[in-house]
Amino acid sequence: MSTKERDRLKVLHEVKKRHITQKQAGAELGLSERWIRELLVRVRRRGDEGLGHGLRGRPSNRKTPEKVKRRVVELFREKKQAKLWHDYGPTLAVEELAADYGIVISRESLRKWLIEAKLWRAKRSRVEQAHVWRPRRARYGELVQWDTSEHDWLEGRGEKMYLIAMIDDATSELTARFVRHDSSEENLRQLRRYVEQHGRPVAVYTDQASLFQVTPRAIHHRDAPEEQLSQIGRALKELNIEWIAAHSPQAKGRIERSFQTAQDRLVKGLRRVGAKDLKAANAYLEQAFLPLWNQRFRCEPQLAGDAHRAVPAGMNLDSVFSFRENRTVDADYTVRWEGVTYRVKREHIAAGMRGARVQLERRLDGSRWLRWRRQVVVLEACERRPAVRDQHPRQARATLVRSAEEKARARQRMLDGRRRLAEAYAQLRNRPIWQATKDSPLSAGGLR
C-alpha cells in the first residue's frame, strides 16, 4: 500500500468515526461523495486492500500505442532541428500532424509527450484575481504556513538571528525557533522538529525562495531528473507533503502577521529577560512566548479531528532530512564530495559499484552515507597525506642596486637606439605616403 493510500485510509477512518462528513472527506481528498461512499464499501468488504485499484499494474485499454508516440516525438524533434517547427506549439503541431501525416491525437497528449521529451516547457496559467480573501482550512493539520523572519531580535545586545516559524492555518498554533542562518539545513531541522512533534501535515505554504525550488538544469545534464527538486522539496515529496508556493507576501498573510506581532512582543520579552545569545533567546521563546501565543491566539478549528498523519513505519527520518548529491565511484572505491575523499568499507563493496553513478547523503548529524541500488552504506573519510616540504631552504636572490649615473647611462643608450632605428627606417624606399609627404621639403601645392 502506498503512502497516498494510507493517507486516504486515515481520512476514511475519520468518516467512520463521524468526525467529518463524506462531503468534507471528498473535498480533502479531491474525490466525489459517490466515490467516497464506494471506497467505504470496499474497505468494509475487503479491508484496507480495497483502496487499491483493480487495474493496478495493467496498461490502459485507451492508451496510445508506444510506436505512435515515438514516431510523433521523433518527427517533432526533426522538424524542430530543421527550423521548421521550432516555434510551433502543441495546438498547431496537432493540426499539422493530422493534415500532413494522418496522425490524429489530442493536443493535451502531444503536450505531455513533448514535456516528457524536453521539447516543450509548461507555461504558467494567468492569475485571474490577486489577494483574494479565503477562509481558514477546516481541520488542524491540513495546511501549515512556513517562513523566516529577519530582524534585530536582540536589539544589538548579541549576534544576528533568524526566526523560522510554522503556523497552522486552521488554528493559528505556532511553532518557531531561533537560528543563526536561514539555510536549508536549519529549515530541515525545523521541519523535522515539527514532524516529530505533530506528525506530517497535508500541505505546507511557503514563498518561492531558492530553499524550496531550484533553477532547472539543462536537459543534456546527466544529473537532470524529470522533476527537479531542492533538498527541502525532495524531503517533502518523500513525506507525501504537498508544497504550495505563494506568489506574494499577502497570500501567506497569517505567517506575515504573526511576524509583526513577534517583532513587537517577542522583542520586548527578550529585552525584559536580558537575553544576549541564541540559547537564552530560544529558552524564552519555547518556555514563555509560544505557550502564551497558543493560549491567547489559538482558535478552535471548524471540524474536529487531526489531519496530521503519522510517519510510516520503516521510514528513516535521518535519511529523509539530509543533503543528497550524485557522484561517480572511482576505481579504488572512493568518492569525492566537498573537497574530501570518502571510501566504501571493504565489507560493503559489491560487484558493479566501481564506476557506478551513486547518490551521497550528508545527514544533519554530519555523517556521510552512500545510496546505490537498494543499499545504503556509511562512508569513511580518508586521511590526508601530509605534504612533503623541501628540507633545504631556498636562498634569496641578491637584488642589484644601480646608482643614479648608471641609470642615466642606460637611459641614454635607449634614446640612442631609438634614434638610430628612426634613421634606418627613413632610408627605406617603401614608406607610408602620409609619412613621405610629411617629411618632403615640397609644399602641398608643389605635389600637384
Residues 136 and 303: their CA atoms lie apart, in Å, by 11
Q: Which of 382, 352, 366, 276 is nearest to 318 (CA)?
A: 366
Cβ distance 198 to 284 under 8 Å? Answer: no
Name the packing angle between helices 3-16 and 33-46 (round to 10°): 90
pLDDT digit string, tens, across residues 147-167: 999 999 998 899 999 999 999
Assess if residue 150 is contained within a domain: yes
Per DSSP, the three-state class of 59 is coil
Pair (160, 292) in one structural domain: yes
Model confidence band, residue 447 (pLDDT cutoffs 50, 70, 90):
very low
Q: Is 303 part of any domain?
A: no
Where does a domain end: 334, 361, 381?
381
CATH number, domain containing residue 288: 3.30.420.10
Does 153 share its domain with 178?
yes
User: In 3D, which of 106, 67, 100 has the Cα closest to residue 85?
Assistant: 100
Given 362, 381, 400, the domain boundary residue is 381
Q: Is the residue at 76 inside a domain?
A: yes
Indicate the residue among 381, 411, 428 that finishes a domain.
381
| 262 and 371 fall within a common domain | no
**Could you give the C-alpha distances from 402 to 199, 200, 263, 294, in angstroms and in order?**
81, 80, 69, 82
Identify whether residues 165 and 231 lie together within a single domain: yes
153: nearest Cα among 183, 178, 184, 130: 178
Give yes or no: residues 212 and 339 share one domain: no
Listed as own residue / partner, the contacts of 106-109 with beta carbons closer than 8 Å and 24 or more positions apart are: 109/64
Residue 125 in this model has a pLDDT that exceeds 70: no
Domain count, the chain: 4
- Residue 37 forms part of a structural domain: yes
Global pTM value? 0.57
Per-residue DSSP letters for 316-349? -HHHHSEEEEEEE--TTSEEEETTEEEEE-GGG-
C-alpha cell at 224: 537532470
Assess whether 266 and 364 both reside in one domain: no
**Model confidence at 130: pLDDT above 60:** no
Flag whether 132 is in a domain.
no
Q: What is the pLDDT of residues 236-252, one digit of tens each?
A: 999 999 999 888 888 88
Position 408 in a domain: no
443, part of any domain: no
Same domain? 147 vs 282: yes
The verdict on 11 and 74 lying in the same domain is no
Q: Are residues 268 and 343 in the same domain?
A: no
pLDDT, position 386: 65
Tens digits of residue pLDDT in 167-184: 999 999 999 999 999 999
Q: Which domain holds residue 7?
A: 3-51
CA distance 387 to 434: 64
| Res. 444 pLDDT band, cuts 50 70 90 | very low
- State residue 275's pLDDT score: 92
pLDDT tens-digit readout, 64-116? 888 999 999 999 998 888 877 877 788 888 888 888 888 899 989 999 999 99
Same domain, 261 and 195: yes
- Residue 206 and residue 105 share a domain: no
Predicted confidence band of residue 446 (pLDDT cuts 50, 70, 90):
very low
430 lies in some domain = no
